[in-house]
Amino acid sequence: MPFRRIITLLATVLALPALAVAGGTARAAAPPSRSDMYFPAPVYVSLQGAGAIAVFPGDRVWHGFPQAHYLALGPRGKWLIVSGFSTGNVYLADTATRHKVATLHIGNLVQGVKIDPDGKYALAADASGGSVAVISLAKRKVVKSIRVGKSPHNIVFSRDGRTAYVTVQGANKLAVIAMDKLRVEKTLAIPDMDGPHNLDLGEAGKRLWIRSHSAPKRKGTVAVMNVTDGKMLRHFRVGPFHGGITTMQRGRYVAATNIGSNTVDIFNPETLARVKTVTVDQGPHGIRPGPHGRWLYVGATRGAELDIIDTRTLKIARRIMLPKGSFPFWIAVPGHS
């Protein structure tokens, strides 16, 4: 082998960054130049089993977030809010300084969290208390609790931030919160769905895509709802148990994960048809697109892997191994948490 090629290979090997998290040793990640290609904007992954947040590109890890579960970014990506699952806590972090600036106790079991488009309030689903906590980001404290029903799970805001939609998993409905009054203005029933779990709003803001929480070995459901009148437009049978769901910029696809298997279902939001089922690593849950819609990030919980799907081919373009047992649960990206 030519000497120059030997030196090049040696330099490449030495340049491989390692990901280290308490409780486990990571496998090698990609060289920075190659990794950056897949991350045109920061990607945040909650590592529930490690109590940490992995940040790409750069393969950085932020510690000090016990049971990091759901997470979301605020406008311009300044604030990162993280739920602490059965700790009952919500954590607020400054992405510029990488420091946790507040820990707020919400209840016994905290699920989804979201920050409104204006960056004024954050909402946190208190599943144990049947309510949604309203957090003032300026004051860094809970300013109100809104009763929504049994086992609220996750939240999505309308594009203008005036309305928040909350899945009420224990009552098979959505609670619709008016943000100017901070109260539930109406509820929308979700027929033929076993426990509405995660949700996302279509690009035009007119359709909600909802993923169910079924029994561990039972097939799940994805439902499409018209937000103006609550009319159900379509139901799909998907993989077992529960999962995440995401819409994509430019309205190209909607994707839903199936944590009880190793698959991601891809849908066409215009024709309301399933396009493909993509095989990933075991236990996919968190899913979010990159800023231009080229890459689709999937957190495989049991496989401890971040899989990146190329939306041009609907095939896996890159696999990033994470620490064993880290349980990568949810993903946040700028502009779409």
Please, what is the end-to-end C-alpha distance for the chain in angstroms? 48
What are the strands of the beta sheet with 219-226, ordered from one edge? Answer: 196-201, 207-212, 219-226, 232-240
Q: In Å, how far are 108, 207, 327, 335 from 42, measured between CA atoms? A: 31, 27, 20, 11
Neighbours of 138 (CB within 10 A): 10
- The phi and psi torsions of 218 (rounded to 5 degrees) equal -100, 140
What pLDDT, on the 0 to 100 scale, is given for residue 36?
Answer: 83
Of 99, 95, 92, 82, the closest CA to residue 330 belongs to 82
Q: Are 175 and 152 in contact (CB under 8 A)?
A: yes
What span, in angstroms and rounded, lies between the C-alpha atoms of 327 and 118? 31
Chain segment 131-182, per-residue pLDDT in tens: 999 999 999 999 999 999 999 999 999 999 999 999 999 999 999 999 999 9
Instruction: Give the DSSP letter string of 151-213.
Output: SEEEEEE-TTSSEEEEEETTTTEEEEEETTTTEEEEEEE-TT-SSEEEEEE-TTSSEEEEEE-
Least confident interval from 9-18, 78-87, 105-114, 306-315: 9-18
C-alpha 179/C-alpha 46 separation (Å) is 27
Specify the range with the lowest mean pLDDT, choosing from 34-48, 104-118, 301-315.
Answer: 34-48
Distance CA 26, CA 320 (A): 10
Q: What is the pLDDT of residues 42-79, one digit of tens each?
A: 999 999 999 999 999 988 999 999 999 999 999 999 99
For 5-12, what is the mean pLDDT?
34
Enumerate the domain spans of the chain.
41-332
Quick check: 162 and 120 in contact, CB under 8 A?
no
Domain 41-332, architecture per CATH: 7 Propeller (2.130)
Q: At residue 277, does pLDDT exceed 50?
A: yes
pLDDT of 91 reads 98
* pLDDT reading at 216 higher than 80: yes
Going by pLDDT thresholds of 50, 70 and 90, the confidence category of residue 3 is very low
Q: Which tens digits make up the pLDDT trace of 57-66?
A: 988 999 999 9
Amino acid (one-letter) located at 162: R
The DSSP symbol for 76 reads G
Residue-level pLDDT at 1: 41
Q: What is the DSSP string of 216-245?
A: TTSEEEEEEEETTT--EEEEEEEEES---E
